[in-house]
Chain A
Amino acid sequence: MNFDKELDARGLNCPLPILKTKKSLAELESGQILKVSSTDPGSVKDMQAFAKQTGNELLSSAENNGEFTFLMRKQ
């Protein structure tokens, strides 16, 4: 899927992936998509919770060899 901005949060642990996601989303327009890469296993649940509580939509969440990739659409 296409994305408008990419955030590399690999090597960072809680709460940085969420904090940086929030910061990156702030730079997008409504409807644009942010791709986030992370190595923090906790970020899977965190991204779901973040999407649920902020109203941004988590389009996909995937794991590949310890690396997690998320696509989030800005509300």
Chain B
Amino acid sequence: MENKKMALIATKGTLDWAYPPFILASTAAALGYEVQIFFTFYGLQLLKKDLSGLKVSPLGNPGMPMKMPFGPKWFKGINWNIPNAVQSLVPGYENVATTLMKQTIRSNGVASIPDLRELCQEAEVKMIACQMTVELFGFDHSDFIGGIEYGGAATFFEFAGETDICLFI
């Protein structure tokens, strides 16, 4: 099979949106694709050395099922659907939601984001950070992991123009 190519643009920085780029990239790499991911705007959060800050918020997120990851099966099946108005009033709500999400992920044998990112790097997925948004948000190169490149849109297009799959996440 001749070498297929895939380019991804990662623009989101929450825990739930961290999964699509890393899962797609690692799977494509396992299938023999050459993969590049361009991280821009909030996607830069996925390149931080410390990923423990990644959060997920159910606020204004009507598509997100809110189920408890513990307890008997009938309990786990309840969708709690807490109204936005209540969510916004409870302090620490996001942290609770993030913790429960991480527990759900772990108990289902799904890899953590740090593990997935490491698998991507091992598989030689090229990760490029958008230099413009690095400056825009006042980040420093030392905030991010090593082994990544810094570039602009034109850098990304050099590879993206030749890809078989190009996705915006």
- Please count how many residues in chain A sit with their CB below 8 Å of the partner chain's CB atoms: 17
Query: A19 with B30: in contact, given A53-B1, A54-B1 (CB under 8 Å)?
Result: yes
Select one of B1, B30, B109, B110 contacting A18, CB under 8 A: B30
Cβ contact within 8 Å between A13 and B1: no
Question: Residue of A at shortest CB range from B115?
Answer: A16
Number of A-B pairs, beta carbon distance below 8 Å:
40
User: Is the C-beta of A14 less than 8 angstroms from some C-beta in chain B?
Assistant: yes
Cβ-defined contact, B111 with A22, below 8 A: no
A49: shortest Cβ distance to chain B, in Å?
8
Please, which residues of chain B bring their CB within 8 A of the CB of A19? 26-27, 30, 119, 123
CB-CB contacts below 8 Å: A21-58 with B? 21-22, 39-40, 49-50, 53-55
Please give, as numbers and ranges, the residues of chain B lying within 8 Å of A22 by CB-CB distance. 30, 123
Q: Among B1, B27, B32, which residue has its beta carbon within 8 angstroms of that of A15? A: B27
Query: B27 to A54, Cβ gap below 8 A?
Result: no
What residue in chain B is nearest A25 (Cβ atoms)?
A: B30
**In this complex, which of A14, A15, A18, A22 has the most chain B Cβ atoms within 10 angstroms of its Cβ?**
A15
The residue in chain B whose Cβ has the minimal distance to the Cβ of A18 is B30
Overall SS of chain B's interface: loop
Contact between chains at A54 and B26 (CB < 8 Å): no
User: Hey, which chain B residues are within 8 Å of A11, CB to CB?
Assistant: 109
Task: Say if the beta carbon of A12 comes within 8 Å of chain B.
Answer: yes
What CA separation (Å) do A19 and B35 show in the bound complex?
Answer: 15
Judge if B68 is at the interface, Cβ distance under 8 Å. no
